[in-house]
Amino acid sequence: MIKRFLALVFACVAGIAAAAQDPDPAKLQLASANALVRDAVTGQPIYAKAADEVTAIASLTKLMTAMVALDAGQPLDELISVGIDDFDYLKGTRSRLGLGTQLPRREMLRLALMSSENRAASAVARHYPGGLPAFVAAMNAKAVSLGLARTRFADPTGLSPRNVSTANDLATMVTAAAQYPLIREYSTTPSAFVEVDSTGRIVGFNNSNRLVASGSWEILLQKTGYIREAGRCLVMLANVASKPVVIVLLDSVGKFTRLGDAERVKHWLETGSALPLKAAIRAAVPRGATSAPARSAAAPVRGSFKSTASRSR
C-alpha cells in the first residue's frame, strides 16, 4: 500500500514537472512565418508554426557547408585563398576578404559560421576535392543521409534562393551540426580580428547574432541568415529553463524581429507566459549596445585569426 502511495506521489510530481516544462503553445505568438521549438534530448516539438513549409534558408546553409568541409578531413591549417569565383555576382553582397586573401581553412570556416562570411564559405567549398560541383553534391548527399527530405542545396553560401528547407528539417540539421565541436565553437565566437593582406591591415569581425554576447543566453550553437527571398532567419541550440532546446525562426520581417522572437521563446519556456514583441526586442537589443569588437591587446600575425573569446556565456 505504501509502495503504491509513493508511486502515485512520484507520478504526480513527475506530472507537475512535465506540465511546468511544457508551457501552453497558445500563449506563444511569434512574428516569424515558420518556427519550431524542439526538445534537443527527446526530439519532441514543444512549439511549431508552419514547421513543414518549404522556404529559402539563406546562410543557415553554412551549417551544412561546415559539416561537409569537416567530414572531408582536409588539413584545417592549410592556407586557402579567396579567388574571383568567390565573389557574389548573384546578390552583390560585399566582403572585407579581398581577392587573394589567404587564411587557414579553419579560420575561413570560423568566419563563415561566426560572421556569415560568404567569400570564406565559397573558398572552403572551392578548395574541396572536385571543386564546387562536388561540394554541393556532397551537401545534398549529407542532407539525404540525415533524413532531410525537404532540404535542397544549390550553393555553399545560402545566397541562392534555391537553398530550401523546413523548420523541422533545420532542427534536425542543427542537432547534427552540434555533434561537431568546432561548429559549436566557431558559431559562438563573439568577435575576432584578422590580418587580411600583406600590408598588415587588421579587420574586426563580429558574430552576426548579437545574442551570443548576451549574458542572459547560454547558446551552444547558432546561425543567422538573410536574403530577400528567405527573410531574416535564426537557428540556435541553447540551454533554456535548464534544458537544451533547438529554436528555429524563419522568414522574420524587420531587422530585430528574429531576435525578439528568440527572447519571446526564452521567456515563454522559463515562465509559461507571453512577452510582447517590443519588450522582447528591447531585451534582445539593449539601448546603447555596441556591435564593435573590443581591440585585442596582441595583434594577430599575418594570415592568422585572433578570437576575443571562444564561446558565449
Q: What is the pLDDT of residues 185-196, one digit of tens each?
A: 999 999 988 887
**Pick from 169, 219, 209, 184: which is nearest to 61 by CA?**
169
| d(C-alpha 55, C-alpha 199), whole Å | 43
pLDDT of residue 194: 87
What average pLDDT does range 37-62 have in this prediction? 97
- Residue 278's H or E segment, with its range, is helix 277-284
What is the pLDDT, as a whole number, of residue 94?
86
pLDDT at 274: 82
Between CA 8 and CA 20 the distance in angstroms is 18
- Three-class secondary structure of residue 167 per DSSP: helix
pLDDT in tens, 200-217: 788 899 999 999 998 899
The per-residue pLDDT for 61 is 98
Residue 286: the pLDDT is: 63
CATH of 25-286+298-307, one of 3.40.710.10, 1.10.3210.10, 1.10.238.10, 2.60.40.10: 3.40.710.10
- Does this model's pTM top 0.75? My answer is yes
Instruction: Catalogue the active-site residues.
Output: 59, 62, 116
Q: What is the mean pLDDT of residues 133-157?
A: 98
Find the mean pLDDT for residues 28-56.
Answer: 96
Q: pLDDT at position 313, please?
A: 30
Please count the other Cβ atoms lying within 10 Å of the Cβ belonging to residue 247. 28
Cell numbers 553582397 correspond to 93
Taking residues 137-145, what's their average pLDDT? 98
Q: Which of 35-39, 173-177, 200-204, 242-246 has the lowest mean pLDDT?
A: 200-204
Beta strands in the chain (DSSP E): 34-39, 45-49, 55-56, 79-81, 102-104, 164-165, 191-195, 202-206, 218-227, 231-240, 243-252, 305-307
The residue extents of the domains of the chain are: 25-286+298-307
Residue 11 has pLDDT above 50, yes or no: no
**What is the chain's mean pLDDT, rounded?**
86
Residue 283 pLDDT exceeds 80: no
